[in-house]
Structure 1
Amino acid sequence: MSRVIVASVPLAGHVFPMIQIAGDLVAAGHDVTVVTGERFTDLAERAGARMRPLSGKAAFDDRRLNELFPARVSLPPGPAMLVHDFSHVFGDPIPDQHALLQELLAEDPDSVVVGDLMFLGVLPSMHGAGIRPRRWISVGITPVYYPSDDTTPFGPAPAPDGTDQVEANRGFNAGLAGAVSGASQYIEDIVHSVGGTGLSFPNIFASLYHEPDVLAQLTVPEFEFPRSDLPEGLIQFVGPLTPAVPEGWEPPAWWPELDGTRPVVVVSQGTLANGDLSELIEPTLEALADQDVLVVAALGRPIADLDVEVPANVIVEEFVPFSQLLPRADVFVTNGGYGSTQQALAAGVPVVVAGETEDKPSTAARVGLLELGVDLHTQRPKPDQITEAVRHLLDTASYRERVTRVAEAYRKVDGPRMIRDLI
């Protein structure tokens, strides 16, 4: 048995998989303490772990991001938003995260830290500030951003005729690193301000992977762009986690309608970027209102927030466990959440992706370039774009054939066991 600190920034999409990991480690006999936002205390305790909530700048409420980070609202998706988020959403919390980790490590210096990739409060202790954990296992819950001669985070860079592809990729990766270099310096300065020494983040997209003892990536190589120059052993591909069905959940009365008599299309904007349902949910309902399909809209928020008339072929729910719903679906329409997109692929379901914020463009690029679905290259698709994409996936068998092969790769990995083995 090990003492394990499972740490996550308090963003729901980060917390949920980390809580799932905590529960699995508890079941395996480890002594687990969860470190994240206080609003997730009940989830941590139900997983059988102790809870030590974050405080100060580390304890922001992800439901109030625009209010807490007002400068973010006016920023366009892309480098400017990345610099802001790296610096303020993930960088500013470092001192408070570090302080709490030091309290826990003082209780047991032999503890292992298992933290989501963007929980950066471990960095100071890895660079001489206080007690260093016995092992730092970072968990990649977003697509791999590691730079490569073979690809960028969004697939191979455009290479005009006569241009070497490797040089195109190198140029794009260097440009992206340069565009966010201000955030790299910002994080270095914060770590040094609390006593860390020698931290160097020349390329934040590479450094994030080299700092932990090991990086457990929640995917399979089949949902990644090939990188022939990826250092051996740097990333352990452990596959995605399948969320457990909430205790007490029962199939709703409409469940028998998922009987295969007509195609089922599931649409969701996830748990974070669902503040404006007019981005994807509402145009999808309009797009498919006259199609011979059954649409299930999982809002992730109260049904009353939906501001359009619900068509006759649409079922609206605040929450439906995707582990139960997606195996019965034929197409998944999403804004590109990494976890939910992979849940669909693992269930053998092709995907329509429309997302431009956070890591969503990178997820969308993988779906499109690996031909596992359609990347709409926008956050606000028009209804006719959605109609065309859904019909294309329903009418083109090759997409489901490719997704079926990826689903088989997912079935061959046991993420929870592999993470336990890393402890």
Structure 2
Amino acid sequence: MSKVVLFGVDLHGHVNPTLGLVSKLIERGEEVVYYCSDSFREKIEQVGASFRSYRGLLGFSTHKGSGIDTFLVFADFLMDRSRTLTSALYDEVAQLNPDYVIHDAFGLWGKEIAARLDIPGIAFFANFPFIDEMADRDPEFFMEYVLRAQGDPLYERNRGRHDIYRKLLDRLSGMIALRYRLPPMNVINDVFCSKQPLNLVFTSREFQIHEDAFDDTHLFVGYALYPRREPVDFPYELLDGRPLVYIAFGTILNELNDAYETCFSALGDSRYQVVMSIGQTDLAPMRVSIPANFIVRSYVPQLDILSRADVFITHGGANSIYESLCSGVPMVVLPQVFDEYMGALMVERAGTGIYMREEKVGAEELREAVDRVASLPEYKESCAKVSDSFERTGGLDRAVDEILKFAKQKVYDDAY
């Protein structure tokens, strides 16, 4: 039996994909120590891992900016947290004497600690992966769907030039390297991806956009639903058999009243029953009342509701999209931040839903999109095809096989 330390990120969409992986590792005899924030303790301990706390030192949040501004602020946040967490946790992790480390691609501190301990490190992508090599295939895609560079003066002056991405990336990388007194770096691969010799990608090559940019160090392992025990008081008795629309915009953004009002106007008093999860959003300032055919809750048992839903209106986070695909539920996607725009494009490209491109979607447009997705069987059929592609990767069993082989081989290579 080996011991692995896993460094997570305190977002539901980043923790949920790891639960099945942790369970499989423990089934194979591995001891798993899982670092995350305290609010995830119960969820992590339920799968059998030993929980360790970040002690309030992480705290992911969303910067209220746009384009390059947001990208630079987030890169700075990751670098700052990495330095703080590496310093705070290194001695503690060293005393655990792990055999290898697994870390979120956003968890640069996991990569740093593994390197300092001179043990194997493995990264995983819980988000939609965006790596530097993708830009070589399609610089404009990367600028507009990852960097969200529209409006940036440098980009607008050079729009259409093939080298604009590289110029902008060099500028951003130089700013981060200068701020943290580091040698030249690639801010995409070195900060946002924390790439390792083995990188787990929780999707299939068929669903991934620009999949040919990912070399053999990226192991595509699909996505598998892991049943979560969620102590949520949900009124299942109110579900009455009408076509069910589920609405959720993730657990980060909590100021989405305009989006919720649009949903009320679009689907209120319609033929649908609607379940809406609003997180910590305060609906009091809203200009419209909650329609009678809506069930609105702060938190909803997502997997249970998806198993009953006909359409999912989502922000396009990776966890939400993958759980919807595995549940066979087509989507209407209203992306809000960074990789959600890429997720929306992937949904559209695979024929598993509709990407609402307008910055402010109207009620009529939203209702028409829901009607289309609910009525045309090809959307649901496409979900099944993508879900099948996840299964064909070999899934978590293959992931664990490769993790154990890599960790063992790395130790052997270092010894000889």
Question: Secondary structure of the equivalent of 2:246?
Answer: strand
Contact 1:13–1:272 (CA under 8 A) maintained in structure 2: no
Residue 17 of structure 2 is matched in structure 1 by: 17
**For residues 413 and 345 of structure 1, what CA distance do their matches in structure 2 show?**
15
1:196-230, Cα deviation, whole Å (9 max, x unpaired): xxx65236248755731211011112221244353
**For residues 218 and 173 of structure 1, what CA distance do their matches in structure 2 show?**
30
Residue 296 of structure 1 is matched in structure 2 by: 275
**For residues 153 and 5 of structure 1, what CA distance do their matches in structure 2 show?**
38
1:286 to 255, 260, 265: 265
Q: Are positions 1:201 and 2:185 aligned together?
A: yes
Higher relative contact order (CA 8 A, sep 6+): 2
- CA RMSD, aligned part only? 3.3
**For residues 415 and 157 of structure 1, what CA distance do their matches in structure 2 show?**
31
Question: Secondary structure of the equivalent of 2:206?
Answer: helix
Q: Are positions 1:329 and 2:329 aligned together?
A: no
**For residues 250 and 214 of structure 1, what CA distance do their matches in structure 2 show?**
40
* Unaligned stretches of 5+ residues in structure 1: 67-71, 159-169, 194-198
1:175 to 164, 183, 187: 164
Q: Are positions 1:218 and 2:198 aligned together?
A: no
Q: How much does 1:180 deviate?
A: 4.3
* Unaligned stretches of 5+ residues in structure 2: 146-158, 405-416
2:81 to 75, 93, 101: 93
Question: Secondary structure of the equivalent of 1:47?
Answer: coil
**For residues 356 and 33 of structure 2, what CA distance do their matches in structure 1 show?**
41
**For residues 229 and 355 of structure 2, what CA distance do their matches in structure 1 show?**
31
Letter in 2 for 1:131: L
Q: How much does 1:7 deviate?
A: 0.5
Distance verdict in 2 for CA 1:367–1:277, change over 3 Å: same
Residue 220 of structure 2 is matched in structure 1 by: 237
Q: How much does 1:266 deviate?
A: 0.9
Residue 145 of structure 1 is matched in structure 2 by: 130
Question: How many residues are matched?
Answer: 387
Distance verdict in 2 for CA 1:151–1:341, change over 3 Å: same
Distance verdict in 2 for CA 1:179–1:24, change over 3 Å: same
| 1:11-410 → structure 2 map (5 Å cutoff) | 11-19=11-19, 21-55=21-55, 59-62=57-60, 65=61, 72-73=63-64, 75-76=65-66, 78-88=67-77, 90-125=78-113, 130-132=116-118, 134-146=119-131, 147-148=133-134, 149-151=136-138, 154=141, 174-185=163-174, 188=177, 200-202=184-186, 204-205=188-189, 211-231=195-215, 233-246=216-229, 252-254=235-237, 256-257=239-240, 259=241, 262-273=242-253, 275-301=254-280, 307=286, 308-378=288-358, 380-410=360-390
Contact 2:245–2:310 (CA under 8 A) maintained in structure 1: yes
**For residues 297 and 247 of structure 1, what CA distance do their matches in structure 2 show?**
17
Q: How much does 1:116 deviate?
A: 0.8
| Identical counterparts, % of pairs | 23
Distance verdict in 2 for CA 1:323–1:38, change over 3 Å: closer
Residue 408 of structure 2 is matched in structure 1 by: none
Q: How much does 1:334 deviate?
A: 0.6
Residue 69 of structure 1 is matched in structure 2 by: none
